[in-house]
Structure 1
């Protein structure tokens, strides 16, 4: 029995074998990025900025590095955080005064900003796309509210970059233009398969990041190996990205259709993270274990709403129609067995 893994977020199945990469004389310069970046970095950053629709970009070893510098260099004031923001952003904000607004709720954000009189809010932090509810952030409304209060918006677009928007430019690339009050961070470890990250924004914001970012001054830069792999990833995206995304979206549609046919509901909009809500923790873990015995690995996880749980299947371009059909059939049979113990509505 061939095992099927639905836990990898290498959405576009980009691989970077050594022979496919430009060679490098040394792995790192021994200097922080602020002193002397690797020769290929400037061109890579320009390519990334064009793809995302931003004026400029700065390369970092990880999204945590990038987010720390973005938050360190924001204007003086408090940080307002979406209630379900990804943990990387929340960890990067440690030490800052923060308040939370209700997840993806512009009216909650507006009330919070309007009630602030003594301590100013300098920035809003949220995810561009939430895989807990499979919905994009209401960016247009949030940007308008932020502009009215003269507040910066900081978006973690890790899920969208390489996957959503024109040519895989991300959730912000869907906007008509890059807003002046918006800075974004995106890991390239998912769609592009490279453990690195980029900060995007207006030229003045990224220039300030380069000059004053603490980690650009004190931490090692992205290695030559990762830089070469990311250049290769952008080349692959230009040549094959559209085909790989189309293949992936077809698999997502097939899987959701098979589940719907069997009366199994899924969370939110179509996205490669396909989640079945399961109310009871014991049932969730039982279903996960039954699948594992059949050679199918899926993720049991908390969702973005308090107390909600689900079983997630992460689809990638490496899967195929037969694999997806096998997973849907196995899941339906397991849930049918569970119906004897618990009504089907417990899974929806």
Structure 2
């Protein structure tokens, strides 16, 4: 009997073993929220610093009540694409409120953030066009760029001089610049005014992904564009603003906002909008309640700012000489760079043994050699929580050595 030909599927176990050997195998955890910043992680109660629920709204009673009332009124599913019968009264009201909140003419509500960027970009540019992308952009922007089939020009992170040279040398008629507003793994904020200036100089469109700034930055949490004063009467038709609704707003989904004609084009041409089932109305109702909380509750952003200050003050001095470093970030994203994958995993495990949950971030999510803990702060945390985290990190950090050849304790 003839032996079956070898299959590439037979190689997968070895590839998985190689990932594990390189400390790159990812493992899911089963979690349950417990309130006040705590999670049950595989059945263990841990104080978590890993959630993008920056304002502590995900379990807020007002949002829960709005979702329950929405379910009673609309049911639990939308039943169809927004272009068929899925665009409910609640979804339409949410779009109007989002546009008004961010100070832009019109908004379009999507069921998921990744799908938004992955399909909006191909709706804007295609083969023969040019696309310019920051080297540290999120994966959804990268995938959307690849799907568009436009010529991709990658510029070094935040190097707008290089971007300017690339734009000046480009002969394509249609040009699109992509950038995170707040970079998800470093926590720094893009120079949006200068990005817009370059786009105005070179007849380009600017797509800003404010997933981690919306709800946190700007007056009343209106986002990074509002922080830079680029909304309302000063809004530019060259800016398309995208933000997710599952982070600071605590629910799910995403939206894009901008010039009304541009948004209408996206409604007509974005495949993930046309061919996907619309988000349920119960989520839209929860988001409408969340928007009211974001606008009203300045204490949430004030607490975040206080917590950022406490963490940075404690860690900056304490980590001197250890080889670990806290990146400069004014946002709730506070990355602690430790270097290699094994060290990051060991630190993660050490924190877990002390009742703290801060998952390690490794390549390919971040560049090789920059494995880190991505500390994410939330208004659900207290000052004492952050002090506990900082003190435990310092206790687990390597001791500074006067002689780099001497082993550390």
TM over 0.5: yes
Give the whole-Å Cα distance in 1 for the aligned partners of 2:95 and 2:74: 21
Asked whether 1:219 is paired with 2:276, we answer: yes
TM value normalised by structure 2: 0.77
Asked whether 1:34 is paired with 2:87, we answer: no
SS at structure 2 position matched to 1:311:
strand
Match of 2:56 in 1: 13
Preserved contact between residue 113 and residue 253 of structure 2 (Cα < 8 Å): yes
Give the whole-Å Cα distance in 2 for the aligned partners of 1:312 and 1:133: 8
* Higher radius of gyration, 1 or 2: 2
Match of 2:28 in 1: none
Give the whole-Å Cα distance in 1 for the aligned partners of 2:260 and 2:212: 24
Match of 1:346 in 2: none
Equivalences for residues 161-310 of structure 1 within 5 A: 161-176=214-229, 177-240=234-297, 242-264=298-320, 265-302=325-362, 307-310=369-372
Equivalences for residues 147-158 of structure 1 within 5 A: 147-158=200-211
Give the whole-Å Cα distance in 2 for the aligned partners of 1:104 and 1:307: 20
Preserved contact between residue 153 and residue 183 of structure 1 (Cα < 8 Å): yes
Give the whole-Å Cα distance in 1 for the aligned partners of 2:133 and 2:174: 11
Unaligned runs of 5+ in 2: 1-43, 405-409
Asked whether 1:109 is paired with 2:160, we answer: no
Asked whether 1:139 is paired with 2:192, we answer: yes
2:153 to 61, 82, 99: 99
Of structures 1 and 2, the one with the larger relative CO (CA 8 A, separation 6+) is 1
| Structure 1 residue 191, shift from structure 2 partner | 0.2
List structure 1 runs of 4+ shifted beyond 6 angstroms: none
Give the whole-Å Cα distance in 2 for the aligned partners of 1:29 and 1:312: 35
Distance 1:133 1:216, change over 3 A: closer
Unaligned runs of 5+ in 1: 344-348
Distance 1:50 1:342, change over 3 A: farther
Preserved contact between residue 307 and residue 386 of structure 2 (Cα < 8 Å): yes
Preserved contact between residue 151 and residue 181 of structure 1 (Cα < 8 Å): yes
Task: State the aligned residue count.
Answer: 340
**Does 260-269 or 106-115 show the bigger shift?**
260-269
Give the whole-Å Cα distance in 2 for the aligned partners of 1:181 and 1:297: 41
**Does 156-165 or 312-321 show the bigger shift?**
312-321
Match of 2:183 in 1: 130
**Does 140-149 or 130-139 show the bigger shift?**
130-139
| Structure 1 residue 250, shift from structure 2 partner | 0.8
Give the whole-Å Cα distance in 1 for the aligned partners of 2:122 and 2:156: 24
| Structure 1 residue 299, shift from structure 2 partner | 2.9
In the TM superposition, what whole-angstrom CA distance separates every residue of 1:17-63 from its partner, at most 9, and x where no partner exists? Answer: 54343332322342311234101122211211122121111100011
TM value normalised by structure 1: 0.90
Preserved contact between residue 55 and residue 202 of structure 1 (Cα < 8 Å): yes
Query: Could you say what the CA RMSD is over the residues aligned between the two structures, in angstroms?
Result: 2.3
Preserved contact between residue 220 and residue 296 of structure 2 (Cα < 8 Å): no
Give the whole-Å Cα distance in 2 for the aligned partners of 1:92 and 1:27: 30
Give the whole-Å Cα distance in 1 for the aligned partners of 2:369 and 2:336: 14
Preserved contact between residue 113 and residue 121 of structure 1 (Cα < 8 Å): no
2:111 to 57, 61, 79: 61
